[in-house]
Amino acid sequence: MKHYILIITFSLLKLSTALGQSTELPPMLSNLDLKNVQEIEINQYHVYKETKYHQEKQIIAFNETGKVVLNKRIFLEYDNNILKDTFIYDKRDRLIKSLRYRPNDATIESSKEYKFEKSGKLLDKEVFDEQKNLIYNSLCDSASNNFRRYVKESEDGDKTITEFIFNKRWQKDNILYYTSDTLNKKIKYNYSPFGKKKSIITYSKGINEINRFEYYYDKYQQLIKEVYTDTTNFKKNTEGIYERDKYGNLVLEIHRGSDFNWTHKYVYKYNEKGTWTERTYYRSDLMSRFITLNIKYYKKTTANKS
């Protein structure tokens, strides 16, 4: 079994949100070859005055088809609190259940179940609280597989409804937010012919534009600029600029607005194959964070040797 140690840096907030109760991987893994990966161990450190502080250990495990089956996080700064997400798949490798659990106090935060019709279409989803009470469910339109409706009902009978409408590529097209039958907010997504996000526009009551995000890409379809416009307060407008090296890895982030301007830098070390083996993150020219990454692989079988 192979082991590799990588020293990298990554935003703690981005990593935490990217691997919440989701099977999506953080962007820092996007350039790594994850074929036959069995487990990834991530250790996060904060650097202050040249001293390392071990903040968090995270373990992501995969099944043999590459699907995430476990995301376990140990918060070392907070009395070794553990947050554990598990994912279960059926014989067709479709996600059918996810569970969020806190072993320290034996608390089940939520449990989600996904059901399918014989045709393979997703039927509904259920979410339970720690007392196993149904608190949230969703139904998709029986005539269309690109529609999802999520309903949450309060104790006094008020319903909060969120509708997701997807395009043919299963990308979000519209998100509609209702209180009972009243439309409060609409978010519209627009895409390029390459399937990249061009803009995300938010409307109040589905009519009046509140804000928008616009995205710009280079000829390799890599994000190089994003612009946020607040149509109600232009002082809140912001801009992000991204520079990449010849391998497509991010080396510079510039974010600026009316009252801030900050820069993040990333420095890489590469092996002879052009794969980075070390990534260090600097903020204001000081090393701020780094992460060690330990990757374990499934043993190759005769069937997959080539």
Report pLDDT for 61: 95
Q: Measure the N-to-C terminal CA separation of the chain; round to a whole number of Å.
A: 17
Task: Fill in the amino acid letter for 112.
Answer: K
Query: Under a CB-based contact definition with an 8 Å cutoff, are residues 81 and 104 in contact?
Result: yes
CB atoms closer than 10 angstroms to residue 62: 20
Provide the residue-wise pLDDT of the chain in tens; the chain has 306 residues.
443 333 333 332 332 333 335 677 776 776 677 778 899 888 888 777 777 788 889 999 999 998 999 999 999 877 889 999 999 999 988 888 999 999 998 888 888 888 777 767 666 665 555 555 555 555 544 445 566 777 777 667 677 888 888 888 778 899 999 887 889 999 999 999 999 999 999 999 878 999 999 999 999 999 999 999 998 888 889 999 999 998 888 899 999 998 888 898 888 878 766 767 677 788 765 667 777 777 888 887 544 444
Q: Residue 101 — left, alpha, or beta (φ > 0 → left; ψ -120 to 50 → alpha)?
A: beta
Hey, is 27 helix, strand or coil? helix
Quick one: CATH architecture of 3-304? Beta Barrel (2.40)
DSSP assignments along 195-237, one per residue: S-EEEEEEEETTTEEEEEEEEEE-TT--EEEEEEEETT-GGG-
Determine the length of the chain.
306
* Nearest in space to 152 (alpha carbons), one of 140, 134, 166: 134
Cα(39)–Cα(70) distance, rounded to whole angstroms? 9
Report pLDDT for 124: 61
Task: Fill in the amino acid letter for 155.
Answer: E
* Token output for 28: 């820092």
